[in-house]
Structure 1
Amino acid sequence: MKTILVVIACWTLVHGDDSGCLSQGGTCQEDSLQCSGHYVSGLCTGSATRRCCLHGGTGSSGTGSCANVKIVSRSEWGAAAPKSVSSLHLPVSLVFIHHTETPACHDAASCRSRVQNIQHYHMVTNGWADIGYSFLVAEDGTIYEGRGWDRVGAHTEGYNSRGIAFSFIGSYSGGKPPAAALTAVKNMIQCGISLGKVTSGYHLYGHRDVNQTSCPGDALYHEIQTWPHYSHTKP
C-alpha cells in the first residue's frame, strides 16, 4: 500500500492537474507520439511538448468558454518542427492583433497551404525558430495553432515574452474580417482566460500600437478599438 501511494504522489507532482484534457476524453502525452485524433495545446501540465490528444478529429479545444472554438492543430496543418522552443510565463496580460497581409484563404486545403507558406517564410526567409504567431484565424473562424498558448512567439518586437498574438489570415486595410473570424478570436481569448493562459484583466493592442507598422490594417485596427479590453496606453 505504501508503494502505491508513493507512485500516485509522484505522478501528481510531475503531471499536476490534467483535468482540462481528461474531461474531454483526451490523453496527455508527448506530441512526438502518434495521436489518433488531433493535438491541442494548453490542456496539459508539464513541458510545451506535452499536449492533449483529443480523439475523433478536429473539434473544440476545451470545455466551457472553449467549447465554441475550433482549432486545427499543428500536426493537422502539417507544421514543420520548430528549431527551438521557449516557454511563456503564464498567464500573460497582453494580447496583440495582427494580419498576415497575404491573400485570405477560403477552405481547409487552401488555409493549410497558406499557414505552411507563412511558417516557411518565417523560418527560412526570416530565420526564426518557428511560425511567429501564437494562433492564426481564417475567414470562416477556424483557428490554426501557431506557437500556441505556452511558447514564446516572434510576432511583436519587444513584447514576445509578455503576450500572445492572433493573426487574421488576409489583408484588412480596406475592409475588416468577416464576423465569424472576429467572433472566433474573441472566443479564443475567453478560452485562454478559462485555461489560465490569459489574465482576466488583459490589455488588447494592435501591432501598430507598439511597433512601426501598418499592421493589422486600418479596417481591422478600427474594429479592435471597439473591443472592451482595447488599451490606448502603451504597455
Structure 2
Amino acid sequence: MKLIVFVVLLCIVLINASFDCPKIISRSRWGARPPKQIQTIKIPVEYIIIHHTVTPTCLNEDECSKRLINIQNYHMDVKNYNDISYSFMVGGDAQIYEGVGWNKGSHTTPEWDSKSIGIGFVGNFSVEAPKRDVLDVAQKLIRCGVAIGDIHEEYKLLGARSLKPTESPGDALYKEIQDWKGFVRSP
C-alpha cells in the first residue's frame, strides 16, 4: 500500500515538473466563499486577459488571502457577480491564487468570458510594474495552462483595456505584457 501511494505521489510530482506548473493556492486555503452559480467555459481557451485589481498589493500569503476575500466580497456583494471575477490572481508574494480556475469565467464581458481566462495581478500597476518574480510566475502559469491543454497553444494575450473601457491592467503592467508571447493590442 505504501508503495502505491509513493508511486502516485511521484507521478504527480513528475507530471507537474514536466508541465512546469507553479504551485496554486486553492480557494479553500485562501478562504473563498462558494460561488452563487458556476459558469463553465469551453477549453482550451484562445485568449488570456490580463487585469490588475487596483488595490494595495500583498506581500505574503496571509495578506494576500485577506485581500482576495475583500475582492471576492466586493465582486459578489456590491457588483453582484457570481464569484470573484478572475480565473487566477498573482500576489505580490509571487504566488498564484485560484480564482474561478481554468474552466470557469466571468472577468471581462460575457462575450469574452466564454473564451478566455482572466489573470488578475493583485495591486495597482498604473505607475510601476510588478516585480520580476511576480511576472515570471504569471508566465509560468500560462505555460502550465498550455501544457495541460486548458490554454490553446496559439493563444492571444490581451490587456483588459483592449476589450472594454478600463485602465486595466495599468499602464506599467500593460507595457510589460507587450513583450510576452501571444500579446496582441486588439482581438
CA distance in 2, matches of 1:228, 1:85: 30
Aligned to 2:82: 129
| 1:155 corresponds to 2:107 | yes
Aligned to 2:65: 112
TM-score, normalising length: structure 2: 0.90
Structure 1's 119 and 101: CA in aligned 2 closer, same or farther, altered over 3 A?
same
CA distance in 2, matches of 1:228, 1:108: 28
Deviation at 1:61, TM superposition (A): 9.1
Deviation at 1:107, TM superposition (A): 1.2
Aligned to 2:146: 193
Unaligned 5+ residue runs, structure 2? 1-7
CA distance in 2, matches of 1:228, 1:66: 16
Which letter maps to 1:174? V
Aligned to 1:222: 175
Aligned to 1:202: 155
CA distance in 2, matches of 1:230, 1:107: 29
When you count helix as a share of all residues, which structure comes out higher?
A: 2
1:40-119 matches, cutoff 5 A: 62-67=16-21, 69-119=22-72
| 1:212 corresponds to 2:168 | no
Instruction: Tell me, yes or no, if the aligned pair for 1:61 and 1:71 is still in contact at 8 Å.
Output: no
Deviation at 1:170, TM superposition (A): 0.3
Unaligned 5+ residue runs, structure 1? 1-19, 26-59
Aligned to 2:129: 176
1:31-46 matches, cutoff 5 A: none
Deviation at 1:192, TM superposition (A): 0.3
Deviation at 1:227, TM superposition (A): 1.1
Higher relative contact order (CA 8 A, sep 6+): 2
Deviation at 1:62, TM superposition (A): 2.6
Which letter maps to 2:11? S
Structure 1's 133 and 61: CA in aligned 2 closer, same or farther, altered over 3 A?
farther
Which letter maps to 1:183? D
* Aligned residue pairs, count: 179
| 1:23 corresponds to 2:5 | no
TM-score, normalising length: structure 1: 0.72
Deviation at 1:22, TM superposition (A): 8.8
CA distance in 2, matches of 1:108, 1:81: 20
Question: Highest CA radius of gyration, 1 or 2?
Answer: 1
CA distance in 1, matches of 2:98, 2:12: 19
Deviation at 1:226, TM superposition (A): 1.2
* Deviating 4+ runs (over 6 angstroms): none
CA distance in 1, matches of 2:81, 2:134: 27
Instruction: Tell me, yes or no, if the aligned pair for 2:61 and 2:93 is still in contact at 8 Å.
Output: no
CA distance in 2, matches of 1:63, 1:107: 24
Deviation at 1:138, TM superposition (A): 0.7
* C-alpha RMSD of the superposition: 1.9
CA distance in 2, matches of 1:77, 1:215: 24
